[in-house]
Structures are given as structure tokens and as C-alpha cells.
Amino acid sequence: MRLRWGDGAAYSHAMSADPHSGPDAESDWTDALMPVITDGLRRCRDCPLGIHTRPGLSLPAREAVHDVLDRLISVLFPGCHRHEAVPADGQDAYYRDRLREVAETLKDQIRRAYAYQYAFDGAPPPGDAETPARRAVTALVQALPRIQETYLQRDIMAAYEGDPAARSTMEVVISYPGVYAVIVHRLAHLLYEQNVPLVPRIMSEHAHALTGIDIHPGARIGPGFFIDHGTGVVIGETCVIGANVKLYQGVTLGALSFAKDADGRLVKGIKRHPDVGDNVVIYAGATILGGDTVIGSDSEIGGNVWLTHSVPPGSSVYNRQPRPLVRRKGDAPAP
Amino acid sequence: MRLRWGDGAAYSHAMSADPHSGPDAESDWTDALMPVITDGLRRCRDCPLGIHTRPGLSLPAREAVHDVLDRLISVLFPGCHRHEAVPADGQDAYYRDRLREVAETLKDQIRRAYAYQYAFDGAPPPGDAETPARRAVTALVQALPRIQETYLQRDIMAAYEGDPAARSTMEVVISYPGVYAVIVHRLAHLLYEQNVPLVPRIMSEHAHALTGIDIHPGARIGPGFFIDHGTGVVIGETCVIGANVKLYQGVTLGALSFAKDADGRLVKGIKRHPDVGDNVVIYAGATILGGDTVIGSDSEIGGNVWLTHSVPPGSSVYNRQPRPLVRRKGDAPAP
Amino acid sequence: MRLRWGDGAAYSHAMSADPHSGPDAESDWTDALMPVITDGLRRCRDCPLGIHTRPGLSLPAREAVHDVLDRLISVLFPGCHRHEAVPADGQDAYYRDRLREVAETLKDQIRRAYAYQYAFDGAPPPGDAETPARRAVTALVQALPRIQETYLQRDIMAAYEGDPAARSTMEVVISYPGVYAVIVHRLAHLLYEQNVPLVPRIMSEHAHALTGIDIHPGARIGPGFFIDHGTGVVIGETCVIGANVKLYQGVTLGALSFAKDADGRLVKGIKRHPDVGDNVVIYAGATILGGDTVIGSDSEIGGNVWLTHSVPPGSSVYNRQPRPLVRRKGDAPAP
């Protein structure tokens, strides 16, 4: 049969007129289409934009990185996030076995990320990816106790003490999305500091997908950090946040505008996002923008505040809330 | 034992007083309850609201549709989203095998959706569902190269060039939720145009669940579209968006009000959502409402702007931001 | 080899200088690190904050609770959410078998939650956890028909009738995140009323992760409740919401401020969140705060309204929207 290669509708019209197009004619029609489609996909694959994998190079696999996150968290909080019995005795063996597994998997994924970057940057040869990968994994694994003692314990207590709805610290550990997002960030940020490509962002976007909280792995965040509810929070790459800071849902710590070079291209890697001092509370929906903006310590930023300049320590910032109009229904057009 | 069919508390009180209610009396109490519960569930099942499946009819399975999405995306970007080696040679075989699998699965799910709709609408007989299902799948599969070349390549480059934090185009492909949501939308929209029931919405809600970005499959969106961060974005069914448009998190392109018929029922299928021209940037939290609202090309809509009327091309729209009040803490009531 | 226990970078520098640090020296370096790391993790584990499981006690497993949710929903709506054939005949057997399975799994998870709480509270002895667990599961299972007939049928019809984009009631059942979040809430709330620890919040956070809708299990919500789009919605623990209420994305029903005791600790368990009457519509981004705030029945709250006081029945509340400034681009600084 002769096929018209127009839009789908035209083609499928031709299809439906095909006397052979019964369910058992399946192979026919796909065979008829296949060469054109595969040609097209190969053509796409050859585009020079760097949006396709290269033969012989494997990218980090998202599923593997997500699994590494789960396993790292279950080493930090055994029995809290995965259904597994934690032995009363032989804890060291428990930790040792799990750390070995997770370190191997993570190193393999990070090696792929380095090898991929090297292939695109040119040198050094991909073979070298093994060394920096081991280095990064070593830094992360040996930092786990410090991450928990210096940061996570205080993050969790900040959540428990900061939320009247929290019944127990364990409820916070196993069910609070804000706590999960911060745990993932602490791990992703350490890899970001090791200049690991791709993997830290895969980690942070996994937390973003699960919590609606978007923390770039580059953000530097002090201990005792709590995000309540959290959906819609955005924290930019160059933010620096002090100790004991509390955010609510929908808070943005973002860029005010982007510098461009002579060719009109965005300049990358410069300070674009605000600094926030210690003991600051930022209420739901507040937007704070700009790399020169500094929120002084012990300040309080009200709900829906739009702030693009610095405020001194101990500030209380809020909107002159216009009391909304209240009328009997029908007396006014609906909003 | 005699049971009191009151609320759970009363019943369970009777339970706890039951001398036989040890763990090994499990079967007793479920047997005692079961007839009442199964009667109730059967009664629910018989409600005429169309909220239950019909015997002999299978709905599209969400898990299967989600899997189809993953596999279509792994055909468009081999090796980027799934952990699989992509052959340097034999690419055609690679594509052909995967396309065959995914086309079969998708056709089966779409056939169920048509059959289900036919059963509710009356005619034509469900048997016919095979033909339009094959038609829709054919239209989608053969459109894949065009979708990537005409849309996705430009969507991805818009993300890379529009975000100073983007380190590489590959980082954008494998980790940006805004890019994932747009890829899914391009696929779901093509099926929507083929009048496929249920399946396009299952696809768009899968992306919504993973990204917090809610794009109705009906929205018509030009190439070079980028949503940064994305959580909270809502794009309505009858939106028409031009080329090279950029949105930030929390932007709503929605309906202003709903027309009702003489019976007070909502009128469905009319233009309810705005049009947006080419090269428009809409900053975080902006709300643009109404089917008569048109944002002219080359315009810029500021953060948190509330807009319910049209603006001409080249407009810059922003709130008269009231500088928020800044006081020493304690001098004013907390916001 | 001698290791320097500095930060990751310093250590990894030592590593890269290690003549043995080839891929085949893997075991060496992990062995060298392991004792220090496992010591640190054991030290963390001994912290008195209650953020770690106790030997011999198993927490509810999130995966198991999520699976219970899926199975409860597939009993309420057979064939709609899981890929399984629903028998035309033998429905009672279908229900009976599934109810038995799910009741057993849920009871086991709830028993763990009670046992865990008892262990922390002191008395009664964990052995008793079996009885209240069976009581709670019984209350939930026998309430399923009532939950569907009294609440879910009206919730689903409210969604279908309230959204012009809804093509069929079945589309609403299988794909609307707002409907899913409300179904989960109806189940979690019943367990919350039974004072089940941990499990209700695990359920509500699962829905939060999938939908971006954060409804605390404690909230009391009348029938005919519909949340459209939903991402960013927050409904606090002590909210009481009437019948036929409709919310849009980004609506917060939250606390205005937290009462503290003499020691400066938050007082838990008091009324902190608003009441909403019957037939109220609250548009996108509205924020309503405070335990004394009551929204009278038949009221309409406009988009982005910030409301911290009560309004009488039949009110129409909206912002004096300042028409945003519209200028030719370049005539004004970008927002």
C-alpha cells in the first residue's frame, strides 16, 4: 500500500482505509513506517547540541543515584526509612556492609559523570575518572558522622521544636518532607563541593520531585535549618544561609537579574542569590532576590513580602497589608 | 459474639471486651464484619455516577501509561533516563525493537480508553476501538523525530541558555523538571489532538506529580519553551503560547470565570485561558487569567503580577511594589 | 599508609598520592576508613534525641503503608488505579480477599506504631499494641462503604461539576490529584481520630509527595470537597471545613502565630487554624490564618487575598487589585 507521509491524521486516514489493517496486520504497518522513523531518530541523534549520549559513554543512571540516596539515609537513620530489622548487636558489621555497597555504587556513578564531562571538555582522558570519583566518595562517606552530628541532629530538633503539630522527633524523621529535602541537600552539597558533575543535581532534583522543595546543591546552609510544608520553596545556587533559619512554603531565595556578556550570553558562576543571617524566619510566599541582598540575623520576613534590598539585623519586614475588601456577595464583581 | 454496628470506637470497644479477641481470633472478627462491609461496597459499586469500572471493561492502567512515557523518552534520548547501554552500532535495531514494544503497549492502553468511552457514550461498538487506537499510536510514533527536531531541541537549548546554573546541556536533559514536563506535554498533546480519551491526562498528571508543573494536554505551546524551577505552574487547557517563552515557578495561566448554561451547569470546551505571544518572560508567581487576555509578543510580566486584561507587544508589566515596612523587631506586631 | 583526617579534600589529596590507590586497592582504603566511620555512626546512634530506632523495635515501614493506601483505594474503586481485572461475578470474594490482605498488613504497621510510642512513653507495655491496632483497623475497614457513600461520591461529583476541563467522572477518579489527596485524607483522618501514631502522617505525606497538597490528617473536612490543580495547598491540623468547599492551587489555611509556654516552648494541640463554612470558594494563592478566623458560609475569597480575621456568611472578599504598571519595555526597569 502507498503511504502518505503527511501529518498523523492524514496518514492514519490512509491507514484506516487499508483493507489489511486488522489487528493481525500489526507488523505490516510498523514495518512500513519504521525506516522513516529510525532515519529521523538517527538524524536527531547526530545533532551537535550535546543532548545525546556518546557511544561507549554511560551517563550516571538516575535510578542508581536515587537508590544510593535511600541507602545513605538508611545508614544515617537505620530502620527509619527502609523496612529492615536493625540488629541490636553487630552494629559495626551492619554499617560496614552497607557502607561498602553504597560506596561502590556511588563511585561507579560518579566515575561515569567525570568520564562524561572529560569526554566533552577534551582532557584529561576518561581513564582518570576513577581517581576523582574515589576521592569524592571517600570525602562523602567519611563525612557522614559529622553531617549528622553537626547538622542533621540540629535540623531535626529545629523541626520538632518549630512545629506545634509534631508529635515526636521520630515523626519528624520519618515523615517531614522539609527534613528529607535538607538531608538530601547536605549530601548533594558535599559532592558539589568536590566538583562532581551531574550527580549532585540528580540528587537535589529527586528531593525536589518528592517534596516540591528546590534547593540547588550549591547553596550553603547552616545547621538547625527547617522548612515547614515546603512545597514551592526555591533556594538558588549561590545562597548563603546562617544557623537556625526557618522557612515556610513558597519562599523564593532567587536571582534578581542575570548578567550577560558581550555576546548577550548569561554569565555563569557569579553570586546571584541572597545571603540570610542566623535565626531568621521567612514566612510563606516571601520572595527575596539578588546577590547583593543580605537579610540581617534575627530578622523576620512576613508572608508574601517582596524584598530586593538588604535589611539590618533584628529587622521585622512585612507588607502594609491592604485590608481586603469585604462585601456582601453580589454587591461587587467576583475577584 | 454479638456486635454493635455503631461507629468504629463503639464497635472496637465491644471487640476489646471480646474474650476471644487474641491475635489468633483474627479470622473471627473479619468474618463477622465481612458480610456487612462487602454488602456496602457492592452497594457503592452500583451507584450511577460512572465512578466505577464496568464488568468486562478494563481502563487504561496508570502504571502502564507511565512506563510507556519512560520508554518513549528513552527512545528520544537513549541512555539519558534509563540505565541501559546504547549500542555504537546497530542503532536502527535499537530503535526498531523499542518502538515496536512501546507502540504495542500504548496501543493497548489507548484501545481500552476508546472502548471505555464508547461503552459510556453508546456507539460505536467497543470492537471498533482497535482502529482509532492504532491510528493515534501511528501518529505519535511517526511524529517523534519531528517533535524532537522542531520542539525539544529548542526547548532544551532555551533551558541551557536561560539558566546561569546550567553546567551542560546534558545536565538539563537528565535533571531539569521543567524540561521533563515539556517533553511529556509534547507527547500528551499529540494524543489529545487525536481525541484520545483519558490517556493524555494520565500522562500530564504523571508529569505534574513528578514536577509540580500542571500543563493540561490541550495547551498549545510553541518551541523554545522553558519553565525554570516550575513547582506550582498551572497552564490551562485552552492556552495558546508562542515561541521562546520562559516561565518561572508559581505562574498561573488560568480561567477568570466559568460560563454556565441555563441549568447553572458549567459550559465545557470554550476558550477560557490566555494567549501568550513570542519571546515573553513571565516571572515567579504571576497570575494571568481569562480567555480574552492576550500577552503581546516580546513582553515581560513581573513577579506576582495579577493580570486579567490584554497588554500590547513589547510591554513591561509589573506591580507598583510597595516597599515593605522594615522596623526593628518588637517595634511592630509580627506579620 | 598514614591518613590525614582533615576535610575530604585534604584526605583525598593524601589518597591520590597513595601509590596503592589503584582500582584494585579498593578494599584497602575502605578498610582504613571504616573503623573511624563506624565509631562515628555508633556515636550518632547513641544520641538521646529520639531520632533513632531502638533495638528490637520496628517502625512502621513507609513502603508498606503506601502499599496499604494503594490497596484500600483499589477496594474503594476496583480496577481504576491498579492494573487488575475485576470479576463480573464473585465480587464479594474479590472484596473479601483484598480486605483480608490489607487489614492484616495495616494492622501490623499500626501495631508497630503503637508499640513504638508505648516504648517512648513508658506504659502500657508494648505487648498491648495488638489490641488498639486491631481496633483501629476494624474501625477503618468497616467505615469504607460509609466513607465512599457519604464523602467520596460527593467529592468526585464536585470535581466533575466544578471543572470545565473534566471530560468524564472516570477521568476525575483516575487522574485528578486533588481527588486522590482527598481520598487519602479521608482514610488518614479516620486513623488520626483513633489516635494512631505515625501512620496517618505517613499517609498524608505520601499524598503530599504525589500531589503537592499538604492536608494534615487532623483537619476535619465536609463532603463535596474539591481542590483544583492543588500544588502548594496547605491545610492545617485544626482546620474545620464545611460541605461543598472548593479550593484552588496555593491556598493556605494556616496558623497566624504560635502560643508559647513559660519556658518559651510551643504549646501543642490547641486550635491554631481557621474554620471555613459551607459552599465557600477560595481562589488560587489566598492565605487565611488563625484559629479565631471563621469564613462564613457561601463566601468567596479572591486570589492572593491575605485574610487574618473572620468574615460573615455570604461575603465576597478580594484585594483592591492595583492595576499593574504597563509600560513600553525599556521605559522602566525590569521588575
Question: What share of chain A has pLDDT > 70, as a percent?
Answer: 86
Q: Smallest CA–CA separation between C96 and chain B, in Å?
A: 7
B168 and A50: CB-CB below 8 Å? yes
Q: How confident is the model at residue B21 (pLDDT cuts 50, 70, 90)?
A: very low
Tell me which of B87-96, B123-132, B265-274 is least confident: B123-132
Q: How confident is the model at residue A70 (pLDDT cuts 50, 70, 90)?
A: very high
Which residue in B86, B95, B322 is closest to A38 by CB distance?
Answer: B95
Which residue in A85, A103, A322 is closest to C30 by CB distance?
Answer: A103
Q: How confident is the model at residue C204 (pLDDT cuts 50, 70, 90)?
A: very high
pLDDT at position A258 is 78
Look up residue C232 and give its three cell numbers. Answer: 502548594
Query: Tens digits of per-residue pLDDT, A24-59?
Result: 445 556 678 889 999 999 898 888 888 888 777 889
Confirm if B274 and B291 have CB atoms less than 8 A apart: yes
The pLDDT of residue B17 is above 60: no
pLDDT at position C28 is 55
> Do you find a cis peptide bond into B23, omega within 30 degrees of 0?
no
pLDDT at position A109 is 96
Query: Tens digits of per-residue pLDDT, B147-168?
Result: 999 999 999 999 999 999 998 9
Confirm if B77 and A41 have CB atoms less than 8 A apart: no
The two most distant CA atoms of chain A are separated, in Å, by 80
pLDDT at position A11 is 27
Which residue in C41, C266, C319 is closest to A324 by CB distance?
Answer: C319
Return d(Cα B262, Cα A170) in angstroms, integer. 55
The DSSP-derived string for A279-314 is T-EE-TT-EEE-TT-EE-TT-EE-TT-EE-S-B-TT
DSSP 8-class letter at B266: B
Higher pLDDT pick, C256 / A192 = A192
Q: Smallest CA–CA separation between A122 and chain C, in Å?
A: 22
Higher pLDDT pick, C322 / A135 = A135
Query: Tens digits of per-residue pLDDT, A122-131?
Result: 766 656 899 9
Q: Which ranges in chain B belong to alpha helices (H)? A: 8-16, 26-45, 62-76, 91-121, 130-146, 153-162, 169-175, 177-193, 199-211
Phi, psi of C23 (to 5 degrees): -50, -30
From chain A, the residues in CB contact with B157 under 8 A are 49
Query: Tens digits of per-residue pLDDT, B29-56?
Result: 667 888 999 999 989 888 888 888 877 7
From chain B, the residues in CB contact with A298 under 8 A are 329
Q: Give the C-alpha distances (Å, rounded to integers) separating B251 from A221, A235, B88, B208.
A: 27, 17, 42, 14
CATH tag for A232-335 (out of 3.40.50.720, 3.40.30.10, 1.10.287.990, 2.160.10.10)? 2.160.10.10
pLDDT at position A57 is 80
The pLDDT of residue A22 is above 50: no
Query: Tens digits of per-residue pLDDT, A167-186?
Result: 899 999 999 999 999 999 99
- As a whole number of Å, the end-to-end CA separation of chain A is 59
From chain A, the residues in CB contact with C291 under 8 A are none
The model's pTM: 0.90
The pLDDT of residue C1 is above 50: no
Instruction: Give me the residue label for grid cell 450511577.
Output: B48
Which H or E run contains A67? helix A62-76
pLDDT at position A24 is 43
Neighbours of chain C (3+ CB pairs under 8 A): A, B
Higher pLDDT pick, B266 / B208 = B208
> CA angle, B155 as apex, B150 and B158 as ends, to 5°?
125
Higher pLDDT pick, C295 / A21 = C295
The pLDDT of residue B23 is above 70: no
Q: Smallest CA–CA separation between B23 and chain C, in Å?
A: 7
Look up residue B6 and give its three cell numbers. Answer: 455503631
Return d(Cα C213, Cα C215) in angstroms, integer. 6
One-letter amino acid at B186 equals R
Looking at residues A244-265, what average pLDDT do you find?
Answer: 91
Looking at residues C91-119, what average pLDDT do you find?
Answer: 91
Q: Which of B93, B53, B83, A93 is nearest to C78 (CA)?
A: B53
Look up residue B84 and give its three cell numbers. Answer: 541501559
Looking at residues B91-111, what average pLDDT do you find?
Answer: 92
- Round the average pLDDT of chain C to a whole number and report it: 86
CATH number for the domain running over C60-212? 1.10.3130.10
pLDDT at position C211 is 98
On the question of a common fold for B60-212 and B232-335, the answer reads no
pLDDT at position C329 is 79
Instruction: Give me the residue label for grid cell 507588607.
Output: A319
pLDDT at position C89 is 75
C207, closest residue in chain B (CA to CA): B209
From chain A, the residues in CB contact with C208 under 8 A are 177, 231
Q: Smallest CA–CA separation between C149 and chain A, in Å?
A: 30
Q: Smallest CA–CA separation between A91 and chain B, in Å?
A: 32
The burial of B76, by beta-carbon neighbours within 10 Å (0-12 exposed, 13-18 middle, 19 or more buried), is given as: buried
C92, closest residue in chain B (CA to CA): B38
pLDDT at position B60 is 93
A63 and B83: CB-CB below 8 Å? yes
pLDDT at position C102 is 94
Looking at residues C282-289, what average pLDDT do you find?
Answer: 96
What are the structural domain ranges in chain B? 8-45, 60-212, 232-335
From chain A, the residues in CB contact with B77 under 8 A are 51-53
Which residue in C38, C314, C321 is closest to A328 by CB distance?
Answer: C314
The contacts of residue B204 (CB under 8 Å, 6+ apart) are B184, B185, B188, B214, B215, B216, B217
Looking at residues C100-108, what average pLDDT do you find?
Answer: 94
pLDDT at position C52 is 86
B319, closest residue in chain C (CA to CA): C324
Give the other-Cβ count within 10 Å of C189's Cβ. 22
Candidates A5, A16, A36, A37, partner chain B, best to mutate (most B CBs within 10 A): A37
The pLDDT of residue B69 is above 70: yes
The pLDDT of residue A210 is above 50: yes
B136 and A55: CB-CB below 8 Å? no
A58 and B85: CB-CB below 8 Å? yes
Query: Tens digits of per-residue pLDDT, C212-269?
Result: 999 999 999 999 999 999 999 999 999 999 999 999 999 999 999 878 888 888 887 7
Return d(Cα B267, Cα B258) in angstroms, integer. 7
Q: How confident is the model at residue B124 (pLDDT cuts 50, 70, 90)?
A: low
pLDDT at position C309 is 95
Tell me which of A169-173, B142-146, B198-202, B329-333 is least confident: B329-333
Return d(Cα B14, Cα B30) in angstroms, integer. 14
pLDDT at position B259 is 81
Higher pLDDT pick, B113 / C122 = B113
A232 and C231: CB-CB below 8 Å? yes
A52, closest residue in chain B (CA to CA): B77
Q: Smallest CA–CA separation between B140 and chain A, in Å?
A: 7
Return d(Cα A157, Cα A176) in angstroms, integer. 12
Candidates B52, B237, B246, B310, partner chain C, best to mutate (most C CBs within 10 A): B52
Neighbours of chain B (3+ CB pairs under 8 A): A, C
B265 and C136: CB-CB below 8 Å? no
From chain C, the residues in CB contact with B49 under 8 A are 153, 156-157, 169
pLDDT at position A6 is 27
A164 and C268: CB-CB below 8 Å? yes
Candidates C175, C195, C248, C283, partner chain B, best to mutate (most B CBs within 10 A): C175
Look up residue B312 and give its three cell numbers. Answer: 500590547
- Dump strand ranges (E) for chain C: 214-215, 220-221, 226-228, 234-235, 240-241, 246-248, 252-254, 275-276, 281-282, 287-289, 294-295, 300-301, 306-307, 315-318, 325-328
Q: Which of B264, B254, B267 is nearest to B308 (CA)?
A: B254
From chain B, the residues in CB contact with C162 under 8 A are 266
From chain A, the residues in CB contact with C314 under 8 A are 328-329
Q: Smallest CA–CA separation between A320 and chain B, in Å?
A: 6
ipTM: 0.88
Which residue in C42, C51, C283 is closest to A170 by CB distance?
Answer: C51
From chain A, the residues in CB contact with B148 under 8 A are 41, 44
The pLDDT of residue A16 is above 70: no
From chain B, the residues in CB contact with C78 under 8 A are 45, 52-53
> Do you find a cis peptide bond into A132, omega within 30 degrees of 0?
no
The burial of C267, by beta-carbon neighbours within 10 Å (0-12 exposed, 13-18 middle, 19 or more buried), is given as: exposed
The contacts of residue B249 (CB under 8 Å, 6+ apart) are A214, A232, A234, A252, B227, B228, B229, B230, B231, B232, B233, B284, B285
pLDDT at position B16 is 36
C16 and A135: CB-CB below 8 Å? yes
B251, closest residue in chain A (CA to CA): A232
Candidates C24, C42, C44, partner chain A, best to mutate (most A CBs within 10 A): C44
pLDDT at position B215 is 98
The pLDDT of residue C183 is above 80: yes
Looking at residues C183-212, what average pLDDT do you find?
Answer: 98
pLDDT at position C170 is 93
One-letter amino acid at C202 equals I
Return d(Cα C282, Cα C293) in angstroms, integer. 14
From chain C, the residues in CB contact with B300 under 8 A are 329, 334-335
Query: Tens digits of per-residue pLDDT, B221-267?
Result: 999 999 999 999 999 999 999 999 999 999 999 999 878 888 888 88
The pLDDT of residue C45 is above 50: yes
Q: How confident is the model at residue B297 (pLDDT cuts 50, 70, 90)?
A: very high
Question: What share of chain B has pLDDT > 70, as a percent?
Answer: 86
pLDDT at position A20 is 38
Q: Smallest CA–CA separation between B108 and chain A, in Å?
A: 11
> CA angle, A318 as apex, A313 and A320 as ends, to 5°?
140
Confirm if B96 and A39 have CB atoms less than 8 A apart: no
Between chain A and chain C, how many beta carbons pairs sit less than 8 Å apart?
A: 248
pLDDT at position B90 is 77
Return d(Cα C219, Cα C224) in angstroms, integer. 15
Q: How confident is the model at residue A2 (pLDDT cuts 50, 70, 90)?
A: very low
Higher pLDDT pick, A97 / B87 = A97
- As a whole number of Å, the end-to-end CA separation of chain C is 58
The pLDDT of residue B88 is above 80: no
pLDDT at position B27 is 52
Higher pLDDT pick, A329 / B36 = B36
Give the other-Cβ count within 10 Å of A87's Cβ. 13
Question: What share of chain C has pLDDT > 90, as a percent?
Answer: 65
Neighbours of chain A (3+ CB pairs under 8 A): B, C
Query: Tens digits of per-residue pLDDT, C16-40?
Result: 333 334 444 455 566 788 899 999 9
Looking at residues B170-195, what average pLDDT do you find?
Answer: 97
